Amino acid sequence: MKYTLVIVDDHPLFRGALKLALSSSTDNVEIIEIGDLDGAKELITSSLDIDLILLDLSLNGIGGMTGLISLRSLQPLVPIAIVSATDDPVTIRAALGLGASGFISKASTPEVISTAVQTILDGGIWSPLIDEEQGQLDADLADLIKCIRKLTPQQARVLDLMADGMLNKQIAHDLNVSEATIKAHVSAVLYKLGVESRTQAVIRIARFKEEAAPVEISHAGLQ
């Protein structure tokens, strides 16, 4: 069986090193390299033949987990592994809580990377955490993750576009639906996030944009 893997990282040297580590351990993979989140969105929207996405946690200056949330909203069934140099326990637990199928440290050896990828392709979850108490999330972040997990994929996409500053009319055009449909999605998003306005929703989700989010805080199944 041939697998299609997508590496999403804005550093060409690391993409090359990761590609080498994966291709040298097996010859049954096709590896696609992408350097930005927009390119990844375009690819996974147009392709159904992706077996695993390897996503840099801080891509083109996008901090936190927003890239993970965004890509999972587009293709909830495609597994995503976070590959990051920021590998403290809280960051790992937050990524897994938001639906990542694994977390791979950029400091990992090629052998560990290969094992992690194969574990995920086999349907497992890869985590470097060995203690269930490691990286416990604070109450506010844990609650936020639970709220995000309640969103449908379409609601998560609407939230992502709201966070980008788009108005209902613009979101409707982007998603090719009516403005009334978007208004209904926005209402559902606000309800599930426990807020009363778009501004409050954007402020809540902005916590995942913080570069320092893993230090302070911490959609697994987008339904």
Rounded to two decimals, the pTM is 0.81
CATH number at residue 165: 1.10.10.10
Residue 31 domain boundaries? 3-121
If asked whether residues 112 and 144 sit together in one domain, one would say: no
- Structurally, how many domains does the chain consist of? 2
If asked whether residues 162 and 194 sit together in one domain, one would say: yes
If asked whether residues 67 and 22 sit together in one domain, one would say: yes
Dist CA 142 CA 65 (whole Å):
14
Task: Name every residue whose Cβ is closer than 8 Å to that of residue 105 and which is 6 or more positions away in sequence.
Answer: 83, 84, 85, 87, 128
If asked whether residues 117 and 8 sit together in one domain, one would say: yes
Residue 221 lies in a domain: no
Residue 130 lies in a domain: no
Give the bridge partners for 80, in sequence order: 53
Give the pLDDT of the chain (223 residues) as one tens digit per residue. 789 999 999 889 889 889 988 887 777 889 999 999 889 999 988 877 899 999 998 776 565 688 898 899 888 889 999 998 888 888 898 899 999 999 999 889 989 999 999 999 999 999 988 666 565 777 888 888 889 888 998 999 899 899 888 999 999 999 999 999 999 999 999 999 999 999 999 888 877 655 334 333 333 333 3
If asked whether residues 108 and 161 sit together in one domain, one would say: no
If asked whether residues 168 and 201 sit together in one domain, one would say: yes
Classified as helix, coil or strand, 176 is coil
Residue 48 lies in a domain: yes
Residue 222 lies in a domain: no
Residue 40 lies in a domain: yes
Residue 127 lies in a domain: no
| End-to-end CA, the chain | 28
If asked whether residues 13 and 117 sit together in one domain, one would say: yes
Dist CA 78 CA 158 (whole Å):
19
If asked whether residues 69 and 164 sit together in one domain, one would say: no
Dist CA 9 CA 61 (whole Å):
11
For 39, counting Cβ atoms within 10 Å of its Cβ (0-12 exposed, 13-18 middle, 19+ buried), the class is: middle
